[in-house]
Structures are given as C-alpha cells and as structure tokens.
C-alpha cells in the first residue's frame, strides 16, 4: 500500500503539488493553531481547569483528518493494530502537545510526509474534474442530474432496437 502510494506520488507532478498542498496543510495548521494561536486566543470555556479556545476545536478537526491516515500507514508498516495506535498517538501527540522543537519538528515532518503522499495518491487515482468544476455546473451536468422519467420501451419484433425512443431521450435528441 505505502510503496504504491509513493510510486503514484512520484509519477504525477500535478497530483503531487495538490497532495502536498492539501495533505501537508493540515499537520502544519494543527501545529500553528496549537502552538501559536490557541495560547493567545480568548477562551470559550474551561475543561478540567484548562481554557478551551476556538483554535482547540479546529485542532480537533485537523487531528481527526490526519490520525486516520497515520493509523492506516502504521497498520501497513507494523502489521499490528496496537503498534499502529501507539505510533499514531505518539506522533500526533508530540505535534499537538509537545514543548520541545527537537521532537515537534520531526513529528511535523513525518505527518506532512504521510498526509501529503496519501493525498497525492488519492488525487492521482481519482478524476477530480467533476469536483473542481462543481462550483459552476455546466448545462450538460445540470441535465445529467435531472431524474429521468420512466417510460415504457417497446421493442420491434425480431430486433433489439426500441420502436420509439423513451421520452427524455427523444427530447435530448431533438435539442441536439
């Protein structure tokens, strides 16, 4: 799984750029929010005597995104659930709660690498044109999303061709 993702990432520069931007942004954001923004933010409430800020809630979102991928990689590398959970908790925990740059920056590098390669692989394997163009749907896309009316089709005896086109197909044919 991992070597396939690395090969896929290396063979597609466009997907690599998108994967690094999308996958690498999350761990960096978690680091920045937790170590720069949260200490300076106004608390929303307190939890167990500690202030909770909006930045902390965003960090939870980043951890939810990243931890699943890190766990999947840990399972593939270590072939053991227990080790994968330990690896995920350690790396994500160091990034989030660590105070030593000697530990934080290597953890950040590992997470950026894992999430970037995973996102790159996913981008390379899927066609994102429909997703990227969804902001401005074309007339063709709008027609495709309309539910087709069900109409009976009669077959001409001895052939596999319909005697008449179903109503939506006939309308589409007439517009063309």
pLDDT tens sequence across 5-52: 777 767 777 888 888 898 999 999 999 999 998 888 888 888 888 888
Q: Is there a single domain that holds both residue 34 and residue 110?
A: yes
| Separation of alpha carbons 139 and 98, rounded Å | 52
Answer yes or no: is 11 within a domain: yes
Query: What are the φ and ψ backbone dihedral angles of 157, each rounded to 5 degrees?
Result: -55, 130
Query: What are the φ and ψ backbone dihedral angles of 50, each rounded to 5 degrees?
Result: -110, 140
Answer yes or no: is 133 within a domain: no
| Separation of alpha carbons 26 and 61, rounded Å | 9
Structure confidence at residue 70 (pLDDT): 96
Paired with 162 in beta bridges are 155
What pTM was computed for the model?
0.67
| Separation of alpha carbons 91 and 30, rounded Å | 12
Q: Is there a single domain that holds both residue 105 and residue 153?
A: no
Q: Confidence class of residue 66 from pLDDT cuts 50, 70 and 90?
A: very high
Q: Is there a single domain that holds both residue 89 and residue 156?
A: no
Answer yes or no: is 69 within a domain: yes
Q: Confidence class of residue 79 from pLDDT cuts 50, 70 and 90?
A: very high
Answer yes or no: is 152 within a domain: yes
Q: Is there a single domain that holds both residue 42 and residue 119?
A: yes
Q: Is there a single domain that holds both residue 102 and residue 61?
A: yes
> Do the beta carbons of residue 2 and residue 70 sit within 8 Å?
no
Q: Is there a single domain that holds both residue 63 and residue 146?
A: no
Answer yes or no: is 101 within a domain: yes
The token pair at 87 is 């690896």
Structure confidence at residue 131 (pLDDT): 55
* 106-157 per-position pLDDT tens digit: 999 999 999 998 988 888 877 555 555 555 555 555 555 555 555 555 555 5
Structure confidence at residue 169 (pLDDT): 52
The residue segments making up the domain with residue 45 are: 2-126
Q: Is there a single domain that holds both residue 154 and residue 93?
A: no
Q: Is there a single domain that holds both residue 98 and residue 144?
A: no
| Separation of alpha carbons 170 and 49, rounded Å | 69
Q: Is there a single domain that holds both residue 116 and residue 44?
A: yes
Answer yes or no: is 131 within a domain: no
List alpha helices for the chain, DSSP H: 2-10, 13-32, 54-78, 81-97, 101-125, 129-132, 139-145, 167-175
Domains in the chain, number = 2
Structure confidence at residue 94 (pLDDT): 96
Query: Is it the case that residue 59 has pLDDT exceeding 80?
Result: yes
Answer yes or no: is 14 within a domain: yes
Across residues 48-68, what is the average pLDDT? 92
């Amino acid at each position: 799984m991992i070597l396939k993702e690395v090969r896929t990432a290396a063979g597609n520069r466009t997907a690599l750029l998108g994967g690094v931007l999308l996958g690498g942004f999350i761990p960096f954001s978690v680091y920045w929010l937790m170590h720069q923004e949260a200490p300076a933010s106004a608390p929303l409430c307190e939890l167990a005597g500690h202030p909770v800020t909006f930045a902390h809630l965003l960090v939870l979102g980043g951890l939810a995104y990243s931890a699943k991928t890190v766990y999947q990689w840990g399972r593939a590398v270590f072939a053991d659930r227990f080790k994968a959970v330990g690896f995920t908790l350690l790396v994500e925990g160091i990034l989030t709660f660590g105070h030593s740059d000697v530990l934080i920056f290597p953890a950040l590098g590992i997470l950026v690498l894992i999430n970037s390669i995973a996102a790159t692989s996913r981008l390379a394997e899927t066609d994102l044109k429909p997703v990227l163009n969804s902001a401005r749907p074309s007339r063709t896309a709008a027609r495709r999303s309309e539910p087709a009316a069900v109409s009976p089709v009669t077959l001409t005896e001895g052939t596999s061709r319909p005697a008449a086109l179903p109503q939506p197909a006939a309308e589409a044919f007439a517009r063309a």
